Structures are given as C-alpha cells and as structure tokens.
Amino acid sequence: MKHISEPITTHAGRVRPGDHLCLPFASDAEQREVVSVFIADGLRRGERVLYFSDRTHPEALDDWLGPRGVDGALAIARGQLEVRATDGRDGFDPAEVVGGIRHAVRDARAAGFQGLRLTGEMSWTLRGMPGATRLHEYETGVSETVVDSGDLAAVCQYDERLFERTDLSGLVSAHHGVVCIDPLHDDRRLRIIPTYSPRGLRIAGIVDDSTAAPLAEALTHAADWPTGEPLLVLDLAELTFIDVAGIRALVRFAESVAPERRVLVRHMPGSMRKVLRIARWTLQEADESL
C-alpha cells in the first residue's frame, strides 16, 4: 500500500526565501497570529512584504502587527509593506499574475530590500470569476518563481471553513509544506503550542522544576487571549511527565480565568488524575468529542 506523507510543517517565524507554503486555517485568530508573525519577521529582516487582501480590511493589518512590536502604518508609508485588494472583475490569468509576482521580486531588489514576502487570501477564487478553476496552474507558477528567484517567500492562505476538504487537500500538496504558529516554548524537554479548534494549548514533554516556569508563562499568555474565546482546552496527549508543582500551576490557571470562561483538559494522564483526587483539586476533563 502506498502511504501519503504528511506535508512538511514550518513555523511562521522560520519561513525563509525559497519557501512556498500553505496556511490552511480554521479560525480568524489562527490566520491573524500566523500571518502577523510572517509579516513582522519579514519587515524586521529588511524584506518587502506584499499582501493580497480579499476579506481582511487593509487597516486591520496595523492592528495585527502592533502586538508584534511593528508599526504597520509606518511600514506602508515607507513602501516596505503594500496591501492590494483582490477583486477579480477582469478574470484570472495565472500566467499574468505570476508574471506580476516576478516583477515585484525585481522591484524589491531594485529598491534595496533583502527580498520579497508574498501572502494572499485565496477566498477570492470561490466567487466564480473566469479562470478561477486554473488555481493549480497558479500555485505551480508561484512554486517555480520561488525556486527560481532565490529571494522570494510565499504563503497562500486557505480558509478551511470555505474550501471543500478534498479541494483543499490537493491545494496543500501544491506547496512545499504548511506553515503554523510558532510554539510558545520549545526545548528538548517541553513544547507548548497554541491550538485553535478548539482554542487552547497542546503541552508535550516533561513538566518539572526546570520547565515549570515556561509552562506558567504560556498559561499566562493564554489567559490574556480575548474573552471572546469562552473555551480553553489543554491537550495533554503528548505529556510524558508532570510533577505536583506543574499540576498546581494548571489548577491555579483554571481558577484564575474569567468567570465566563471554562478550562477543559483532554487526555489527562492517570497519574495526574490520582494526584488531583488526593489533593482534592478540581480540573474539568474534556469530553473526547470536543
């Protein structure tokens, strides 16, 4: 039987020239966090960033970049960040669009930038415009341009709530891999990754004296997420060990969040459940159907 390999995953803060990646996202928060890291990293590296916007208002990018310590309005004023709206009223010609990207790469070089970052919201292809069925041809052309130029990085954004699953699978495979949010913490002992469906944290590895502080910091970060996220899920499926101090940190986190929010735990280890029972601490365990 032939096995289909999983796409290579690259963290948003590690995208480099030569990468043509797909961002399949299932929530606005996931899109915002991944894209803002991708853009902010490029601006700091002296690259020009070109954003093709379909559903996101151009002014929103400044709000996205603010928490990353980047002044989006200033970058736009300086010509380092450009936002272009996609309307498709004249139809879609993949060769013409790819040719425009090649020109944009040359323009970035001529302007003295270190390279070009390109990202676009692909939802415009669902509006039935002439030529939209040639999307795979476009993605192939972008991949070739990325390889040929040597100083172009591209991230194509596909909203999983809009695209059919079978179509999206084929589109993902047209890229070198997928891009995801950077972990909140990642070393040889502990890895903490934000999740979006549902909103929460995936905690993998060991929580002990040496990693308790990064765990506490990540939990504090999650507590600051917008209160529009009523459910926070802690996924412990990849947790191999947690000591009493770590369990106490999780309990305190659950007790500290706003009253209108709930903290649920998935895949709670049996040893952790036993400690909670002995200490008479309470953490609500999530139903596996979540």
- Identify the CA nearest to 175 among candidates 4, 18, 14: 18
pLDDT of residue 3: 40
Per the CB < 8 A criterion, the answer to whether 181 and 37 are in contact is: yes
pLDDT of residue 240: 95
**Calpha distance 279→272 (Å, rounded):** 11
Per the CB < 8 A criterion, the answer to whether 251 and 283 are in contact is: yes
Helix axes 135-149, 94-110, angle to 10 degrees: 30
pLDDT of residue 90: 66
* Bridge-based pairing state of the strands 152-159 and 20-25: parallel
Reduced to 3 states, what is the DSSP secondary structure of residue 200? Answer: strand
* Side-chain-side CA neighbours of residue 72 (13 Å): 22
* Dihedral in degrees, nearest 10, Cα atoms 187, 69, 17, 83: 140
Cis before residue 198, ω within 30 degrees of 0? yes
pLDDT of residue 278: 82
* Side-chain-side CA neighbours of residue 61 (13 Å): 30
Go through the domains of the chain in sequence order and give each one's CATH number. 9-180 (3.40.50.300), 185-285 (3.30.750.24)
* pTM, full prediction: 0.83
pLDDT of residue 183: 94
**Could you read off the pLDDT tens digit of each residue along the chain, which spans 290 residues?**
334 456 789 999 999 999 999 999 999 999 999 999 999 999 999 999 999 999 888 788 999 999 899 999 999 999 999 999 886 666 788 899 999 999 999 999 999 999 999 999 999 888 877 777 788 899 999 999 999 999 999 999 999 999 988 888 888 999 999 999 999 999 989 999 999 878 999 999 999 999 999 999 999 989 888 767 788 999 999 999 999 989 999 998 988 888 888 889 999 988 888 888 887 777 777 654 33
**Calpha distance 78→280 (Å, rounded):** 58
**Calpha distance 47→160 (Å, rounded):** 29
**Calpha distance 82→51 (Å, rounded):** 6
